[in-house]
Chain A
Amino acid sequence: MSYKIAIASGKGGTGKTTVSVNLFKRLNERQGTKVQLVDCDVEEPNDIIFFCDAEVIDVQEVSQKVPEIDSEKCTFCRKCVEYCEFNAIVVLPTVSFAEINPTLCHSCGACSVACEDDAIIKYYKPIGAIHYYKTKENNGLAEGKLEIGSTMQTKLIRELKKKISDQNDIIIYDAPPGTSCPVVETIHDSDYLILVAEPTLFGLHDLKLMVALVREIGLEFGVVINKVGLGDNDIYEYLVNEHIELLGEIPFSKEYASLYAEGEITGEIPETIHQSYTEILDTLNLKMMHHEGNHHFKW
């Protein structure tokens, strides 16, 4: 069983990617631990830019089955319309018209079951690809990359997660920004969730939305405050009042920001930032040990 850590934030630009990549690169400090990083931000996967020596080892296409109605065979009985829960099918017997709207279709297959006249044809439409990379550290990076124009983010993330081996000791999921379905798909089965937030007014607003979502799912989580020193102290008050664990604080550093821009986030990092990650890792290690312990007891 792998220990799954998801990393998310209420909005983009909080440094979620940096935190994910840094933790990934440093989590193998425990000897023999296999760690894999999974970039689930399928609309804009960018973890890869921090691995200049990564090599692509495999690419797998992911496609979606989409139905179409053959109007030659269709008898306009409207049975498929009744079966379709997503209102994706329009059948107008009076004008001999039958059509499936691909943007409403969820590929559930119910219409094929409904149709007794063999009028539903299926074809495969690409929704994206999964790229596997070998990295210098650890057990590599896997990323999902959405086909331009596809709206099947959630499905692609589901397929991506299915492909990740349970032989890993630790899996890190880098979630898309926001609080929508693709985010839920990424984080819902994680053992621990890290929310990355900025200490600003907007940062706090987005964090609150995220916390509401995470509490509804019922996940164990903690907060990492990034760019400390940029904003104000409201976020700390919020965390205390809500009894939310503060996992760590990463100071804002101009010098570091320019390293980031060059894709150099783990080489020569300032000592203060290095220290912050060490603290976060210590806490995470404790959580994992606790988790393992619980599992052994259950045995």
Chain B
Amino acid sequence: MKTVITSSGENNSAQFDKRFGRAAWFCVFDEETKESIFVKNTNTNANNGAGTKAAERIVDMNVQKVISGDFGPKAKDLLDKFNVQMVIVQDNDVTVQEIIEKLKA
């Protein structure tokens, strides 16, 4: 199963980014292989629809779970439609690695 964690940087020690549509990177963590790859979010500067685009990207990557701080209504609808589980983390001061550790546990 694959999980996306919104991230401010390109590696596991980067800070978790609470913004879903405007996060700089998406960390795609594979629970079977325990590996993570980083995908750049190309829509961070969109005036509108950044959340929808991010959700589209995530569904397209066949991800089952997304961890972020806040999902807009349009992104939520789309993720719901494709049974992607949304997990809200309200902690600002946490790294991607720390979230991955929790997932492994």
Residues of A whose CB lies within 8 Å of any CB of B are: 86-88, 90-95, 97, 101, 103-104
Contacts and interface: CB of A to CB of B under 8 A. Distances in A.
B53 A87 contact: yes
Contacts of B56: 90-92
Given A87-B46, A95-B82, A101 B52 contact: yes
Interface string B18-56: 000000000000000000000000010011111011011
B48 A90 contact: no
A87 B52 CA distance: 7
Given A95-B82, A101-B74, A104-B74, A87 B60 contact: no
Nearest to A106: B48
Given A104-B49, A104-B52, 18 more contacts: A86-B47, A87-B48, A87-B49, A87-B50, A88-B48, A88-B49, A90-B56, A91-B56, A92-B60, A93-B60, A94-B60, A94-B62, A95-B82, A101-B49, A101-B74, A103-B74, A104-B48, A104-B74
Contacts of B74: 101, 103-104
Interface string B46-80: 11111011011001101000000000001000100
Nearest to B82: A95
A91 B52 CA distance: 11
Contact of A86 (B49, B55, B62, B82): B49
Interface of B is mostly: helix
Contacts of A104: 48-49, 52, 74
Contacts of A87: 43, 46, 48-50, 52-53
Contacts of B49: 86-88, 101, 104
Contacts of B52: 87-88, 90, 101, 104
Contacts of B60: 92-94
Contacts of A86: 47-49
B46, B47, B52, B82 — most chain A CB neighbours (10 Å): B52
A17 B49 CA distance: 36
B47 to A, nearest CB: 8
Contacts of A103: 74
A86 to B, nearest CB: 6
Contacts of A101: 49, 52, 74
Contacts of B47: 86
A86 B55 CA distance: 15
A193 to B, nearest CB: 27
Contacts of B59: 92, 95
A90 B55 CA distance: 9
A91 B53 CA distance: 10
B19 to A, nearest CB: 16
Contacts of A90: 52, 55-56, 78
Contacts of A94: 60, 62
13 contacts: A87-B52, A88-B49, A88-B52, A90-B55, A90-B56, A92-B56, A92-B60, A93-B60, A94-B60, A97-B82, A101-B49, A104-B49, A104-B52
